[in-house]
Structures are given as C-alpha cells and as structure tokens.
Amino acid sequence: MRYLPLTDTDREDMLARIGVPDIDALFSDVPAGKLLKTPLDLPRAKGELEVERIMGRMAARNVAASAAPFFVGAGAYKHHVPATVDHLIQRSEFLTSYTPYQPEIAQGTLQYLFEFQTQIAALTGMEVANASMYDGSTATGEAVLMAHRVTKRRKAVLSGGLHPHYTDVVKTLSGMASDEVVALAPDVAANEDILAQIDDETSCVVVQSPDVFGNLRDLKPIADKAHAHGALLIAVFTEVVSLGAVTSPGAMDADIVVGEGQSIGNALNFGGPYVGLFAAKSKYLRQMPGRLCGATVDSDGHRGFVLTLSTREQHIRRDKATSNICTNSGLCVLAFTIHMTLLGEAGLSRLAELNHANAVKLADMLAGVKGVKLLNDSFFNEFTLKLSKPAAEVVEALAEKGVLGGVPASRLLPGAGLDDLLIVANTEINTDEDRAAFVAALAEVL
C-alpha cells in the first residue's frame, strides 16, 4: 500500500481554511520549552525489505516467551490456549463487530457478553458482573472511584501486596478526582497491619490475593473490619486461574471484585490488549462503571439480549459519564468466554490444581539450590525467592543460559530495597524438563 503524505499545497489549503498563518500557530498553547527545537533524528525513508530486516534483527535479540523455559508472571501469565479459541474469535461476525448498541443485529455478541458476565459472577462469587473493563489495573482504579460514590467518602487504603502498577493506576485516577490514597509499603511476607489503617473516613480497602509476591490472603477479617467502619472491601486478583482453586472473594464477603482476565483465552500480547473483570454485590449495581448485558424477551416472547444499565456511559451521558472505559476489550472477552466454556467448572479446577502442583514442585526444587530462600508460606502458582545476588543480574544471566526465570522485584518496585527478590510463576505450560533447566541454570548463576 502506498503511503500518501500531504503536499505543501494541502497543508497551505488547510491552514488557510482554519485561518492560521502556519503550523507553529497550532501549537501556540504548548509552552515553548516543551517543543522540539530540531527534527527527530530519524532516517528519511527506508524500503519495506530493509525495514523488515532491521525489525527482524531487533526481534532476534529477544528471548521469546515461547522459545525458552518461561517462568515470568507478576500480572501477565503464559497459559495454553486451545486452537479452537483463536479459530472461533476470527469469525468475521465477531472480529469486526462494533459495540452492540442495536440488539436486532447483535444477538451473537450480546449473548457471549451475557455468558461472560455469568462466568465472572460465578468465578468471583459475586451477584453481578459487567461486560468487562479495559484491564485489571484500570478496573481497580474504577472500583476505588465506585467505592467513593457508594460511601460518599474519599480515602482509599491500598495493601502493600497490590501490584505496584495497579497502585500507580489507582493513584493516577484518584489524583484526578482529588481523592486520598493511603498505599502501604511493599509487603513481601503479607504481614502488614492493614486493619489499623481502616477508620470512619475510609471508603475502601484494596487487597490483592494471591498478592504480587504470590501470597494467598484471608480477606474475611479485612472485610469485617471494613464493614464495621462503613467501608467496602475491594478484592483484586491478577491471576484468574487461581479462582479455580482458592476460596472466592465473594465467599470472603468482598463488596467489589476486580481483576485481570488475560490468563484465560488470551496470549501475553506484549502487555495488551487485556481484559478487566469487574463484579460487585447487586446492591451496588447502579454505581458500577461500564455496561451490562441483560436477558429479556422480544415482542413475540422469544428470549433475547440487550445492553442495559449503560445510561452512565459516554454515548448517553457524555462528560457526566461514570466511566469512559467501556470500549471493552470485546474480542478478549470472547476469547475468555470460549476458553472458559471449553474448560467448564471441572476443567478450570483441574487446570488450577495442575498450576499449583507444578508451582509447588518448582518451589521445592529451587529452595534446594544454594543461595535461594523461598519466602512464601502459601501461594497459588507464583512465589517469591530471596537470592544471594541481585535478582536483576540473575535474571539476565539466566536469559543468557536460555531460561526466562521470573521478574525481579526491583523492576516493579525500583528503590524499595528489594533487589534480592525474584518473583517466579509456574503454570501448566512448564514441563519437568523446563523446571530442571531452571534449577540447573540458577545453581550455576548463583
């Protein structure tokens, strides 16, 4: 395809039409110091073949996730996705469909949204779920804003076990609303005193389980203390597969449950697109962001589906919208729904058990390596190791040996004094050979 740039005449015509003398005048609102003084140092033009070669050389410097034993997690997980999922989501009715505002022509899309909501409600143990959010971190930010609307308070307490990127997103969104965020220090051992932070000003407590260091948390005492003070408990997860094995947040009396759904049906995708999951108690339905799909009957009495409770979205409510994050990652939702349907309840449980068994096996093997200490008392498929050397260096050395060995805590929390901690994930994709290769490589590196 030819790239057709604008000609000088095109530019002059456009400037004349809007009545400005030159392009600089369009940027008069930008402070002068923020504007580039010289052009970017980029080559003028390159042929397609040449660009392919350059990109190919750059890509070859990576160790691809599928090309090596892979133990990286911390919010994005590599799982097996059945080929059926990719095949079905590429049907053009799904792949090219737009937001299903018109139920007459969008029953397929609306039905899978309805099925998705049903799955999320069942997984989280909650009464209602919406038709998805942008990703887990923004869903968490939206949950905090929702808690402020419900409680009419403005102070959120964030656990030190919350993924630091999620904490950052909450701070950004709350900052725009001038709300207060109390974020506890990173909590490797999951022994922070979060109960002491809850008072009558608190709108919500945000706790992740399994947390970013892999610890499973009992949310019930936190829910009880929060409720005693009129605050809400927001439960967060980054690994949705864990819900196949652990007690659901709903069963521990969480008020809002949010998380990342990438693990089911979706690849790593270089960090996105992902799919945010959002569920709540039904009494808070009216304050939920995004949209819901509902079942109804048409004029002939046939069952059908419609978008409902979307009156707070931007297409109706414009600047007063509760949330503008509603371009749900619809195709990711479809992939999630198909994969989850293929698994079924028993299949998800088996998948979760396999993840956990593999992770336990790996943790035991790694703990036997000299210079390694396992820090978790309990975990699902991810845990944290304390190493005798800085983890960032170890990870680089492991990559040289063809093993992608996890996420150094210093990458998520730079400057927090956690340089010797390594966060390791193990899913169903890892074989005994992968684990043996990891253990052998780590023993050599340390």
CB of 104 to other proteins, least distance (A): 16
Q: By C-beta, is 77 or 305 nearer to other proteins?
A: 305
165 vs 281, beta carbon nearer other proteins: 281
Using the 8-state DSSP alphabet, how is residue 133 labeled?
B
Query: DSSP states of 44-72 as a string?
Result: S---HHHHHHHHHHHHHTS--GGGS-B--
List, as own/partner pairs, every contact residues 101-110 make where C-beta atoms lie below 8 angstroms and the sequence separation is at least 24, other chains included: 101/307, 101/315, 103/304, 103/305, 103/306, 103/307, 107/304, 107/305, 109/330, 110/293, 110/304, 110/305, 110/306, 110/307
Residue 309 or 354 having the CB closest to other proteins? 309
Residue numbers of the site for other proteins (CB under 8 A)? 152, 286, 311-312, 316-317, 320
Nearest approach, Cβ of 131 to other proteins (angstroms)? 18
Tokens of 111: 């039905």
Could you tell me if 256 and 146 are in contact, meaning their C-beta atoms sit under 8 angstroms apart? yes
The CB-of-101 to other proteins minimum distance in angstroms stands at: 12
Task: For residue 408, give the amino acid letter.
Answer: P
- Identity of the residue, 99 or 247, whose beta carbon is nearer to other proteins in the bound complex: 99
Q: Cβ contacts of residue 255 below 8 Å, gap of 6+?
A: 147, 204, 223, 226, 232, 233, 234, 280, 281, 284
**Toward other proteins, which CB reaches closer, 34 or 320?**
320
Q: What are the residues whose beta carbons fall under 8 Å from the beta carbon of 292, sequence distance 6 or more? A: 117, 128, 129, 130, 131, 285, 307, 308, 309, 310
To the nearest whole angstrom, how small is the minimum distance from the Cβ of residue 304 to other proteins? 16
CB closer to other proteins out of 20 and 316: 316
Q: 371, 389 in Cβ contact below 8 A?
A: yes
Between 147 and 343, name the residue whose CB sits nearer to other proteins.
Answer: 147
Distance of CA 307 to CAs 126, 130, 193, 274, 294, Å? Answer: 20, 10, 42, 22, 6
Stretch (H or E) spanning 235:
strand 232-237
**Nearest distance in Å: CB 128, other proteins:** 15
Q: Which is nearer to other proteins, 53 or 286 (CB)?
A: 286
CB of 313 to other proteins, least distance (A): 9
CB of 241 or CB of 288, closer to other proteins = 288
- Read off the tokens for 90: 């590429």
Nearest distance, CB of residue 311 and other proteins, angstroms: 4
Q: How far is the CB of 298 from other proteins (least distance, A)?
A: 16
* Minimum distance from residue 329 beta carbon to other proteins (Å): 25
Distance (Å, rounded) from C-alpha 213 to C-alpha 416? 14
Please state whether 152 falls in left (phi above 0), alpha (psi between -120 and 50) or beta: left
Peptide bond into 210 cis (omega under 30): yes
